[in-house]
Structure 1
Amino acid sequence: MNPYLNKVRPSLDIESASKVAPEDCFLSEGSYQDGRLALIHTEAQMLRILGYQTHVSLPYAICINYLQALDVFTTTENGQALAKKAFAHLNSALFSPQLLYLTHQPPSLATAAIYLAAKEIGVKLPGEEWWEVFDVDREELGFLVVALISMEGFIAEETQKWSKTKVPLTLEDVQAWIDKEAQS
């Protein structure tokens, strides 16, 4: 018996219970094997696309390590505020139309978030060019900082765009929106 079929099947009353076809409650061996093979094929395809690299490195832990290395938590009273602001920048970068998490390494993202958060809060970080210790050059740092700053404008545009229309929440609504966007 397939428990998932019962979840998608509508609830039955006494009269309609006798009219239920066996395939609505049971999964045949052939259907099971077809689904299993489709799942295995899809999984293999995904692994090939990912290059068999399933480990994901995120900049959050790196950000905390860098803040500790910069001795921010002990030398300044704004250490926690700096960490929160840096994490806020990292979170907003997830929604960036520039796909920052795909185009840049996590250490670079963490460094840029710390740099921007320190500038916004007014925390003086040690050293002249401290980001070079974390193997980030000035050009990449500048690009990432500009990208993080531009998120504010992107959010304003998206808010204005979606305030005029209904946000698609169901699969049908999303498909209709995609079709409409493809035509325009």
Structure 2
Amino acid sequence: MLSRLLSVLAYLNKARPLLDIESASKVAPEDCFLSEGSYQDGRLALIHTEAQMLRILGYQTHVSLPYAICINYLQALDVFTTSENGQALAKKAFAHLNSALFSPQLLYLTHQPPSLATAAIYLPAKEIGVKLPGEEWWEVFDVDREELGFLVVSLISMEGFIAEETQKWSKTKVPLTLEDVQAWIDKEAQS
């Protein structure tokens, strides 16, 4: 499994720019072959980095995600039985939760999973036009109007952020190695 991960990383390093599908498909598989030495170096670096991360995290690796909470909330709101758009609402809610992972506001770090799940339901309900029960149904899930508003605005802004980042990285190599990241930081500091 580790060899596959390192092979994918070698492939990503060869495909320049990363977001250009045409150039990525031109990379020959044999160009991504890892020699035994390269594999061992990558393996040791990966194991060392993993050990450092575990020490920093204090071996606390449990993460609570809003996906299951979102499904529970949708069931509690009786969306699947009362609306023909219930599945579409669930799909869009999950899409918003997935895009929130990339948010520059670090929503998954700054907000609790129930709040994220509530905002991920609220926004697509408005987009699709699904009527949810009650005037302020989100209060049942302990989310106040201010937090809900902030999260909804953050989720809406993701489309612009994605377009901006796609434009920014479309003509350059995405830094994947420590050396590439350091070079990118140095270049950004000079400009």
Q: After TM superposition, is the score higher than 0.5?
A: yes
Q: Which runs of 5+ in 1 are unaligned?
A: none
> Would you say how many aligned residue pairs link Structure 1 and Structure 2?
184
Q: Which stretches of structure 1, 4 residues or more, deviate above 4 A after TM superposition? A: 1-49, 169-172
Contact 1:111 1:134 in 2 (8 A): yes
Q: Distance in 2 between matches of 1:153 and 1:93?
A: 13
Q: How does 1:94-109 map to 2 (within 5 A)?
A: 94-109=101-116
Q: Note the C-alpha offset of 1:168.
A: 3.6
Contact 2:119 2:152 in 1 (8 A): yes
**Residues 19 and 180 of structure 1: CA distance in aligned 2, closer, same or farther (over 3 Å):** closer
Identity across the alignment (%):
96
Contact 1:5 1:24 in 2 (8 A): no
Contact 2:18 2:170 in 1 (8 A): no
Moved more, 69-78 or 48-57: 48-57
**Residues 39 and 164 of structure 1: CA distance in aligned 2, closer, same or farther (over 3 Å):** closer
Q: Distance in 1 between matches of 2:103 and 2:113?
A: 15
Secondary structure in 1 matching 2:161:
helix
Q: Note the C-alpha offset of 1:156.
A: 1.2
Q: Distance in 2 between matches of 1:11 and 1:38?
A: 23
**Residues 18 and 181 of structure 1: CA distance in aligned 2, closer, same or farther (over 3 Å):** closer
Contact 1:2 1:27 in 2 (8 A): no
Contact 1:89 1:113 in 2 (8 A): yes
Q: Note the C-alpha offset of 1:159.
A: 1.3
Secondary structure in 1 matching 2:138:
helix
Moved more, 99-108 or 20-29: 20-29
**Residues 51 and 15 of structure 1: CA distance in aligned 2, closer, same or farther (over 3 Å):** closer
Q: Which runs of 5+ in 2 are unaligned?
A: 1-7
- TM score, norm. by length of structure 2: 0.69
- TM score, norm. by length of structure 1: 0.71
Q: Distance in 1 between matches of 2:70 and 2:19?
A: 54
Contact 1:2 1:26 in 2 (8 A): no
Higher RCO (Cα < 8 Å, 6 or more apart): 2
Is structure 2 residue 15 aligned with structure 1 residue 8?
yes
**Residues 5 and 61 of structure 1: CA distance in aligned 2, closer, same or farther (over 3 Å):** closer
Q: Note the C-alpha offset of 1:55.
A: 1.5
Q: Distance in 2 between matches of 1:155 and 1:136?
A: 27
Contact 1:9 1:24 in 2 (8 A): no
Q: Note the C-alpha offset of 1:91.
A: 0.2
